[in-house]
């Protein structure tokens, strides 16, 4: 049976995050001996992970600590799929994953041919993704690894400024997690309609208070860019290349 568990990290700090995530992980039935654990964080920018564009490296640190102690894992790897818009080596460096991996003795793998099936796969989700449907990379990762845990750090709510709620959720079912994310972010494109909050253990009102709010307009988003393009064509004005997608 699928399981979803919730904790609140408060005050938000490295120590408290690691402690709470380790507690969450201990609620899943983990094997006592694992050879390899692969961790795939979703990273969408080079920026500070506190902005909510990347899963926070503190989660990966907690995962590493938990499985080293609970399952005597010999080999820990941190995976990043290189693609044309992201230099994952650089992203691991700027978001703090590289330092964490060195500290915890983890292998960083960004070349797809070096990726292999691990005994346990842990997917770390970025918290405010706009589309809450498992993407190709995530599904590929989940298929590759037979046993999986998905963690969303939930540290950030989608407002004009990052608002730290401190929620951390772990599950062994990505669809359940994506459904919850869709629900709390009121994603109209969600394919999940059930009230997943009711599946959570513990009080959940505070999640709603933190998360249910309107997203601020972003001038670089599609409709704004199209309007800007229309204005530029009518007036003959310049649209800076950075806003044109160059």
Partner 1 sequence: MIRIGIIGLGRLGKLHYLNLLRIPHVKLVAVCDLYDQNLVFASHGGVRCYKDYKRMLDEAYLDGLVLSTPHSFRYEPISLCAAKGIDVFVDKPLATSTSEANSILTVVRENQTQLMVGANFRYFPSVRRLKSMVQAGNFGRIIASAGELVLDGLFVNPVYDPAADLDWRMDPLRSGGGALMNLGYHLIDLYLSLFGPLEFVSGRIESIFNLPVEDYAMIVLRSKDGVEISMNVGLFAKSVTPKFTFRISILGTALVESTDAFAPRNLTVHAAKQIITNLGRRAAFRPINYLAYTYYYSSYYEVMRDFVMTLVNGDNVPIPAETQLPTIALIEKIYGALIDAKNGSS
User: Which residues contact partner 1 by CB under 8 A?
Assistant: 44-48, 51, 84-87, 90, 93-96, 98-99, 217-220, 231, 234-243, 245-246
CB of 58 to partner 1, least distance (A): 16
- Inter-residue contact 216 to 43 (CB < 8 Å): no
Beta strand 147-152 pairing with 156-157: unpaired
DSSP state string for 217-246: P-TTSHHHHHHHHHHHHHH-----HHHHT-
For residue 244, give both structure tokens.
Answer: 């044109």
Say how far apart CA 244 and CA 241 lie, in whole Å.
5
The residue (of 28 and 46) whose beta carbon lies closer to partner 1 is 46
The residue (of 10 and 231) whose beta carbon lies closer to partner 1 is 231
CB of 78 to partner 1, least distance (A): 15
Spatial neighbors of 94 by CB under 8 A, at least 6 apart, are 46, 47
The residue (of 90 and 139) whose beta carbon lies closer to partner 1 is 90
CB of 67 to partner 1, least distance (A): 25
CB of 157 to partner 1, least distance (A): 15
Beta strand 147-152 pairing with 167-171: antiparallel
* Residue 21 three-state SS: helix
The residue (of 205 and 237) whose beta carbon lies closer to partner 1 is 237
* Residue 160 Rama label (left phi>0; alpha psi -120 to 50; beta): alpha
The residue (of 193 and 235) whose beta carbon lies closer to partner 1 is 235
CB of 147 to partner 1, least distance (A): 32
């Amino acid at each position: 049976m699928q399981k979803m568990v919730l904790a609140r990290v408060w005050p938000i700090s490295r120590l408290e995050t690691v402690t709470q995530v380790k507690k969450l992980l201990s609620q899943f039935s983990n094997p006592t001996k694992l050879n390899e654990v692969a961790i795939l964080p979703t990273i969408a920018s080079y920026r500070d992970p506190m902005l909510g564009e990347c899963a926070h490296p503190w989660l990966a640190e907690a995962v590493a600590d938990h499985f080293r102690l609970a399952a005597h894992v010999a080999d820990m790897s941190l995976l990043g799929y290189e693609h044309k818009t992201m230099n994952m080596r650089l992203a691991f460096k700027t978001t703090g994953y590289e330092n964490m991996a060195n500290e915890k003795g983890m292998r960083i793998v960004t070349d797809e041919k070096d990726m292999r099936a691990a005994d346990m796969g842990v997917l770390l989700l970025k918290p405010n993704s706009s589309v809450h449907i498992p993407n190709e990379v995530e599904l590929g990762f989940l298929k590759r690894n037979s046993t999986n845990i998905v963690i969303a750090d939930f540290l950030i709510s989608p407002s004009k400024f990052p608002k730290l709620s401190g929620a951390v959720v772990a599950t062994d079912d990505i669809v359940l997690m994506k459904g919850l994310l869709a629900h709390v972010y009121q994603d109209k494109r969600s394919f999940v309609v059930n009230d997943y909050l009711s599946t959570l253990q513990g009080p959940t009102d505070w999640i709603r208070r933190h998360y249910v709010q309107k997203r601020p307009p972003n001038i670089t988003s599609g409709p704004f860019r199209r309007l800007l393009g229309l204005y530029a064509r009518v007036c003959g004005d310049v649209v800076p290349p950075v806003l044109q997608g160059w």
